[in-house]
Amino acid sequence: MLTWLWHYIRPYRLRLLAALVALVFTAGMTLSLGQGLKLMIDQGFVEGSVDGLWQSLQIFLVLVVAMSLGAYCRFYLVSWLGERVVADIRKDLYLNLVKLHPGFFDDNHSGEIQSRVTTDTTLLQSVIGSEISFALRNSLIFLGGLVLMLLSNLKLSLMVLVAVPLIIFPLIHIGRRIRKLSSESQEKVADAGAWVGESLQNLKVVQAFNREDVVVRRFNGAAETAFDVAIQRIKKRALLICLVMLLVLSAVGGMLYVGGSDVVEGHLSGGDLAAFVFYAIMVAGSLAAVTEVYGELQRAAGAVDRIRELMAWKSDITEPEAPSAPEKVGGSLEFNQVTYAYPSRLNEPAIEALSLNIKPGERVALVGPSGAGKSTIFELLLRFRDPLSGQIMLDGVPIHQMKPSRLRSYYALVPQHPVLFSANVWENLRYGDPDATDEAVIAAAKAAHADEFIQQLPQGYSSYLGERGVKLSGGQQQRLAIARAILRDPEILLLDEATSALDAQSEFLVQQALDRLMKDRTTLIIAHRLATITHVDRIAVMDKGKLVATGTHEELLETSVLYSRLAELQFNAA
Ligand SMILES: Nc1ncnc2c1ncn2[C@@H]1O[C@H](COP(=O)(O)OP(=O)(O)OP(=O)(O)O)[C@@H](O)[C@H]1O
């Protein structure tokens, strides 16, 4: 774990060094205050000299100023390091997450992952940015105080030495228990957090079905479990603090008694006893502080484990060593005996032995009942998943021999549920092509029949969309998604029921835009409504992961029982 952390701290080692110097300096100054105290008492109070008192006070004040300045530098440098290192870790973690294969998020709750990116890294930040320094400073004070105590009075110091193991051993034992409980507690909080995310995102469904009480009950359950686990941890922690105080302060009381007797008998000066008590309090306080922070460090160790686990995940979609990367592709696609099954349902292939050739510029519609595997074909084409067997070729090159980013640059995807990001219209459309000029963006919006409604938004193209921005209707969102694809000007178009959320009027307009977009481009359309695809070159009928027929609308009405049944249901019902 330390080597891992060092990897992140290393670039800032000069600052670390400066922080350490400041830390050692302030610890030294803190300890020297004891000597200042001794001077003040022996030269001032005991000798009854105001001059002596004034002189020793001056020395005391110099020490205080030096200590305060040192503390300023230490606090600034150490906190800077904490923030910096954690920002770097967050960036790395996010970079790894966005590169993971999308299937990863099927099995891993995105809420839990979110909590790792935020909560766990925050925990780590407080550890690097304060607690390690706190622990180090207190350890130094503990050790320095102990040495000064030993030097000034052996007998009294022996009492401390007897007390130390009595304190340390129960502490380590309880600390271990705390570590286990704290990672458990964090998992429970993450569970509750994930549930909040899911239920709030889908609040309309929750309310439409009057299921508020059910989600509340489930959340309460999760919150209570988190509470129960946290309480177990807190009990242990409370015990830890209580034990430390009891043991340390009893030892200090004993020392005061024994040392006080020595002063009374004249073996020890008042200043020596004051300095000794000062050190004893420092030693006790720093030990208590170390134990306090020990629990936090244990918690952070749990957080580090979880962050590292997430960073260690690698995408299932591998980059080829010697990628084939044609600059331009013609757009022919060939599925060769492709089989794929989702990891959670390995014995039920979603696509089975699929073979299909698509010529450059051809428009092919995929139809079939729900669950037939149409969306899975898109996922395979985009290399969100790789086939278990068989291969997919683009212009004769197997797509697994292409860099995923290069492969995806040939496509534009218009998904069934358009996704708009929290950004303005310009930026949302430029998702298709970040370098597009304003004119090109507007032309694409016009072609997708989106320009008109965009102009009417409060700030036109600069209107902010997304969760906290302007809300758009389903049809408007879809037209933006189409404009995005137009802007991308891809070799291959993947349309997932792109006109599903449109009214008859906009559907007509968008269909025109799509026709223009599809011209001379290989296009795959997932279609539920056969009316929208009667004009395509070829229709591929899928059922339960298998390709059962291909042909034109007219041909399939003759040859495919499944297709004619689908057509009959749709056209007759219409
Ligand atoms: N992430 C997943 N994990 C496990 N199984 C999945 C996953 N996604 C899809 N499936 C299953 O794979 C099969 C094919 O699904 P797919 O989404 O490709 O069908 P589809 O033809 O697009 O359906 P629809 O028309 O309803 O969108 C279905 O049986 C589905 O339950």
Domains and CATH numbers, the chain: 2-312 (1.20.1560.10), 333-573 (3.40.50.300)
The residue to mutate among 348, 351, 374, having the most atoms of ligand 1 within 8 angstroms of its beta carbon, is 374
Beta bridge partners of 363: 523
**83 CA to centre of ligand 1 in angstroms:** 43
**C-alpha closest to that of 560 among 570, 573, 547:** 547
ipTM for the predicted complex comes to 0.94
H or E segment to which residue 493 belongs: strand 492-496
Give the pLDDT of residue 574: 47
Residue nearest to atom 29 of ligand 1 (CA): 371
Give the pLDDT of residue 502: 66
The dihedrals phi and psi of 384, each to the nearest 5 degrees, come to -80, -25
Sign of CA dihedral 561, 564, 570, 574: negative
**438 CA to centre of ligand 1 in angstroms:** 38
**409 CA to centre of ligand 1 in angstroms:** 25
Angle, nearest 10°, between helix axes 270-312 and 2-9?
90
Give the pLDDT of residue 168: 65
Angle, nearest 10°, between helix axes 270-312 and 212-264?
150
Residue nearest to atom 16 of ligand 1 (CA): 373
Helix, strand or coil, per DSSP, at residue 288:
helix
**374 CA to centre of ligand 1 in angstroms:** 8
Ligand 1: nearest atom to the Cα of 351: 14
**376 CA to centre of ligand 1 in angstroms:** 6
The residue to mutate among 354, 376, 379, 548, having the most atoms of ligand 1 within 8 angstroms of its beta carbon, is 376
**348 CA to centre of ligand 1 in angstroms:** 11
Beta bridge partners of 398: 393
Residue nearest to atom 7 of ligand 1 (CA): 342
Give the pLDDT of residue 388: 92
Helix, strand or coil, per DSSP, at residue 555:
helix
Per-residue pLDDT of the chain (574 residues; tens, 9 = 90+): 778 888 999 999 999 999 999 999 999 988 888 888 888 888 777 777 778 778 878 888 898 899 999 999 989 998 899 899 999 999 999 999 888 888 888 777 777 788 788 888 888 888 888 888 888 888 889 899 888 888 888 888 887 777 766 766 776 677 778 877 887 888 888 878 878 888 888 888 889 988 889 889 988 988 898 899 889 989 988 988 887 788 767 777 887 788 888 888 988 888 888 888 888 878 877 876 787 687 677 778 888 888 898 888 888 888 888 777 677 788 899 999 999 999 888 889 999 999 999 999 999 999 988 889 999 999 999 999 999 999 999 998 899 888 888 899 899 988 888 888 888 899 999 988 889 899 999 999 998 888 988 999 988 999 888 776 678 887 788 888 889 988 988 899 998 876 665 677 777 777 777 777 788 889 999 988 887 777 789 999 999 999 999 998 888 888 988 888 888 887 765 4
Looking only at the bridges linking them, the beta strands covering 389-394 and 538-543 are: unpaired
Q: Are 29 and 63 in contact (CB under 8 A)?
A: yes
Q: Distance (Å, rounded) from C-alpha 106 to C-alpha 100?
A: 12
**Integer angstrom CA distances of residue 521 from 372, 400, 484, 493, 494:** 25, 22, 16, 7, 10
**C-alpha closest to that of 283 among 200, 159, 192:** 159
**432 CA to centre of ligand 1 in angstroms:** 26
CA atoms within 13 A on the CB side of 386: 16
**Integer angstrom CA distances of residue 311 from 31, 91, 100:** 42, 11, 10
Q: Which residues line ligand 1 (CB under 6 A)?
A: 106, 342, 344-345, 350, 368, 370-376
Q: Are 495 and 514 in contact (CB under 8 A)?
A: yes
Q: Distance (Å, rounded) from C-alpha 218 to C-alpha 211?
A: 11
Q: Give rounded-to-5 percent helix, strand, coil for the chain.
A: 70, 10, 20
Give per-residue burial for 534-570: e unless 16+ CB within 10 Å, then b: eebebbbbbbebebbbbbebeebeeebebbeebbeee
Global pTM reads: 0.72
Going by C-beta distance under 8 Å and a sequence separation of 6 or more, which residues neighbour residue 79? 129, 130
Ligand 1: nearest atom to the Cα of 377: 18
Q: Distance (Å, rounded) from C-alpha 203 to C-alpha 208?
A: 8
**375 CA to centre of ligand 1 in angstroms:** 7
